[in-house]
Amino acid sequence: MRRFIFAPRHPTVATPVCCGGDIIDRLITPRFLKRFSAVYAVVDERVHELHSQGVLKHLLAGVSVYVFPCGERHKSLARLQRLLNWLWENEADRDCLLLGIGGGVVTDITGFAASCYMRGVAYVAVPTTLLAQVDAAVGGKTAVNLHNTKNVVGTFYVPQIVICDSRFLSSLRTEQIKEGLVEAIKVFAASDRRLFEKHAPNLQSLVGRQDLNHLLADAIDAKLAIVNADPYEKGLRRVLNFGHTTGHAVEAVAGWSHGKSIAFGMLVASFLSQRHISLPHSEGSQIWSAITALYDRFDVAALDAELLWNKIKHDKKRSGEQINFVLLPRCGTHQIVPINYAQFKRSLAETRERFSR
């Protein structure tokens, strides 16, 4: 037998993540675009309606545009195939550039398409929601859902640049602002106590879009500190799943918005943290206050522990009959703890009971 070693040495990749106002045309210039054979833009339907003649007018001029339908249900393998067919039918080659312009659904599926088509074409992410700017478009993850379970099929694929232009935020609904704030508070609570204490008291004013740029910059900085240390989610990056194990199940079972579902998942995780790794009650109360400043009501009667657990068992973080939850021994730190159904059911009941008082 002859044995050989294939040991490719990929160069280090550094992706600029830029945030600010009026920055798209300063970053995606004609000179930048000349590096590519052609440009193809995947644009969220609502974003196209609101901004194709404004913020995006110059960027989309002369570009092939695929208007992507709104909604999480379109983040699917079937829609991915349609997108890849569109690229093929429009003669996209391996030297083209793919732009993903929209919320997390669009940036995720466009990044995935870019990673697959011709074994990888250049990609630029232009997230247009606060949620996508602080979370979905930052970090190089791409994915689609499978059988109503989020992000089961995907890749790690690094964009050329991520552009977070704050002009898009002015057209967002209040619910969309809340979703982004939840993800920002999540990363602060799980990794940076100083930033949690800086922003948590101001959430109600931030819902009104006051000073979002400072929170956005801090959230991106905090997430990148984690992602750069663990780009392929082998250890530290799992902290970003705080609240998501329960939250994704709630989103699928109850049909709540992503932000509200993750917010509730963070509350359940906080009760688990207090019971199983001694998160101080005072710090659990701080997290509770921050979440309920954004969402003060949850239809807890609609949440069945067994239904949620059955959905959670399909989660990527499963370990046998237990699920690895991200819990907090203290605000700003985290620990991965295996949780069984009985423990989950009890903490879910405690969360539900507190809202029923």
User: pLDDT by residue (tens digit) across 27-51?
Assistant: 999 999 999 999 999 999 999 999 9
Residue 156 pairs in a beta bridge with 141
Whether the pLDDT of residue 275 is over 70: the answer is yes
**Distance (Å, rounded) from C-alpha 13 to C-alpha 77?**
28
Element at 344 (helix H, strand E): helix 341-356
**Distance (Å, rounded) from C-alpha 289 to C-alpha 319?**
32
Question: What integer best gives the mean pLDDT of the chain?
Answer: 93
DSSP summary character for residue 10 = P
**Proportion of the chain above pLDDT 70, given as a percent:** 97
Of 1-5, 177-181, 286-290, give the lowest mean pLDDT range. Answer: 1-5
Per-residue DSSP letters for 59-92?
HHTT-EEEEEPSSGGGSSHHHHHHHHHHHHHTT-
In residues, how long is the chain? 357
- For CATH 1.20.1090.10, list the domain ranges present in the chain: 174-356
Of 21-35, 105-119, 316-330, give the lowest mean pLDDT range. Answer: 316-330
Pick the CATH number of 17-171 from 2.50.20.10, 3.40.50.1970, 1.10.8.60, 3.30.1300.10: 3.40.50.1970
What's the angle, vertex CA 141, arms to CA 100 and CA 241, rounded to 5?
A: 125
Whether the pLDDT of residue 133 is over 80: the answer is yes
CA atoms within 13 A on the CB side of 111: 32
- pLDDT at res. 10: 63
The whole-number average pLDDT for the span 237-253 is 93
pLDDT higher at 355 or 43: 43
- pLDDT at res. 14: 83
- Tell if the pTM clears 0.85, that is, is over it: yes
Give the C-alpha distances (Å, rounded to integers) separating 96 from 38, 173, 199, 355. 5, 34, 41, 52
Structurally, at CATH architecture level, domain 174-356 sits in: Up-down Bundle (1.20)
The whole-number average pLDDT for the span 130-139 is 93
- pLDDT at res. 225: 94
Which residues have CB under 8 Å from 264's CB, separation 6+? 246, 247, 250, 256, 295, 298, 351
- For CATH 3.40.50.1970, list the domain ranges present in the chain: 17-171
Determine contact, residues 157/207, Cβ cutoff 8 Å.
Answer: no
